[in-house]
Chain A
Amino acid sequence: MSQLEMPAVAAGPAYRRQNQRRQMSDRTITHLFIWPTLILLILMNIFPLFYSLYLSFNDYSVIANEPPKWVALDNYEKILTNERSRYWHNFTVTGKYAVLSVGLQIVVGFGLAMLLKEKFAGSGLITTLILIPMMLSPVVVGLFWKLIFDPSKGIFNHLIYMNATGGKEWLSDPTLALWAIVIVDVWMWSPFVVLLCLSGLSAIPSYLYEAAAIDRASGWFQFRRITLPQVMPLLLIAVLFRTIEAFKQFDLVMGLTGGTPGDATETVSVRLYREAFLGKFKTGESSALAYIVLIIIIAVSNLYIRALNRTREG
């Protein structure tokens, strides 16, 4: 025993200090790693989340030199019931945009995936090329599609009408402008659906099709009874992701139309941006709007996730 204790005494204080550092418990180390991140998260995410919830019940503007004034549900009431504020218009535009855009993306993406599932010379290369739009920045995409849609020198009208002057004014026609954004979004994000569907399709074991062929099932029968049920969970995930994105749609709209003509393409996010950061800086009101959007997205996601779980359980 005494012999074992000897070195510690001989080594003196330097040894003891080193020993103490080594004795720092796992718990301490854990805290040292976690807290910096947690503090950052609280400052940058959690605090703003609750602070904006508080502001949504107040009349407040960041540029006015006045403290927030409690107005309870006035902001929400204004957004949801006041006709003149035209918030309902923004919701309608966003809803229409989401349904059209997500619907078309699913149809186009699933169709392309069915084609690409068959291996042919160059199918690998084509799959890679198809994914390119997804990798571009939405603002850049918006800006160059603005040129493509240009009524006098854009290639879009040229290709459709084979005559650059006879075409429609896609971005300044109130009914066509939303379609233009939908077209660009479908162009950009169908590849994402292709990718998800391809992984689902390639996971279907070939013996199921062989069994079906022997069972004398028609092509349509095989598609409906084997292909579709097997890809369904992935399709629903694609719908979920794309719907959330559609509700947040901002950069593409800003790049293409900025909400014009009039407010024909003004989605909720664009309106939110306008209320919060342009003109009067209505911070309280826009916080309320942001919370309404959040609640809608959570509700819609919940519906999808429930549907997803149902298909998973079979």
Chain B
Amino acid sequence: MSNVALEHITKRFKDVTALDDVSFSITHGEFFVLLGPTGAGKTTTLRVIAGLEKQDHGDVIFDGVNVNKYTPADRDVAFVFQQYSLYPTRTVYENLAFPLQSPLRKWPKERIDQRVKEVAEKIHIAHLLHRKTANLSGGEMQRVALGRALVRSPRLFLMDEPLSNLDAKLREALRIELQHLQKTEGSTTLFVTHDQIEALTMADRIAVLNQGRIVQIGTPYDIYDRPATTFVAQLVGIPRINLLPAVRENGLLNVERSTIRLPLPTDRTIPQRFLLGIRPEDVRLAPDGDLRGEVALTEPLGVETVIHIRSGQQTLLSIAPGITDLKIGDVIAYSIVRERLHFFDLDGVRL
């Protein structure tokens, strides 16, 4: 079993508060993703869990045991660093064997050899075992770094943006492999990323971090469909969510400086002024649509086209499948899926 819990972790670097009362828990076998922009405190969280950084307040708990005073070695976690951190001048084999050769372990040579080869096979680097790490490509290096974490079968995998130094194609391939590996091994993983696609595709649960605070914890579905704040709503989803200032007027929802009028929802109380969130896929081009707008720009992406629709002084993003023959200036009819609107107060909190 390996359940990990953070309780009210606060960490300051001089005057900067990196983590502010962060609490969450990861259950055994879970793929947990920390998502947030640069400087949100994701890496600091990992380092606190690994014991590389000491928190100012709060507790780190592994399986009910407080490990605040444990050294990184005692915590038995594996860390995959963003910059690979392989030992240079050593072969891939030596790098993989390194964690097993620790005097704390006392493994015999044959057992180390067997384990290294087994893991190398699993992540497809068996052919690289006798190469020096300095001569590997970025993708190969990151595989070796992953391998070095895997050989140990640790209590917890900590991964600090392991894919962000790779090119897009490789990132996608490794992402799928990593996901597959995690599911088949059933290893508990805490994965840090600023890439919302990585988070949504891989995670069992996501914690969104902003300026050292946890904004929302939930499944990818929760995060995407029920964002707790406008920050979360804007962080996930490409193209970005449409976020428009709106007012309540004559029992109707009125988007400011535009011609968009919608009926008000009846299931909740809406203040006089608020922010309306509409996902681009919920803005649908339809000949019988009740709204009218003008095409301001089209961005054909192949599988779909992003259409910028101008209504008054506001611009709405919409997605149409495939490539359209719409031209800038065309007047089009569209509708908005009313059940899927998001309402936030002026401070950005979901209503």
Contacts and interface: CB of A to CB of B under 8 A. Distances in A.
Interface of A: 205, 207-208, 210-218, 221, 225-226, 229-230, 311, 314
B135 to A, nearest CB: 9
B85 A225 contact: no
Contacts of B105: 216
Interface stretch (B73-81, B203-211, B227-235): B73-81
Contacts of B132: 314
16 contacts: A208-B85, A211-B85, A211-B87, A212-B98, A213-B72, A214-B52, A215-B102, A216-B73, A216-B99, A216-B102, A218-B104, A221-B103, A229-B88, A314-B89, A314-B90, A314-B132
B52 A213 contact: yes
In the A-B complex, list the 8 residue pairs whose CB atoms are closest, starting with the nearest. Answer: A314-B89, A215-B99, A216-B73, A216-B102, A213-B72, A211-B85, A207-B85, A214-B79
A207 B98 contact: no
A contact face: mostly helix, strand, loop, or mixed: helix
- Among A205, A214, A230: residue with most chain B CB under 10 A: A214
Contact of B87 (A210, A226, A311): A226
Given A216-B73, A314-B132, A229 B89 contact: yes
A302 B246 CA distance: 79
Interface in B88-138: 88-90, 98-99, 101-105, 132, 134
Given A215-B148, A216-B105, A221-B103, A210 B89 contact: no
B98 A215 contact: yes
Contact of A214 (B50, B83, B104): B50
A20 B297 CA distance: 65
A226 B103 CA distance: 16
A229 B94 CA distance: 14
B71 interface: yes
Interface residues on B, range: 20 to 34
B284 to A, nearest CB: 49
Contacts of A212: 98
Contacts of B99: 215-217
A207 B83 contact: yes
Contacts of A226: 87
- Among A215, A221, A314: residue with most chain B CB under 10 A: A215
B102 A213 contact: no
Given A207-B81, A210-B52, A211-B81, A218 B148 contact: no
B165 to A, nearest CB: 13
Contacts of A229: 88-89
Given A214-B52, A215-B152, A216-B73, 4 more contacts: A213-B71, A217-B102, A226-B87, A314-B88
A217 B134 contact: no
Contacts of B88: 229-230, 314
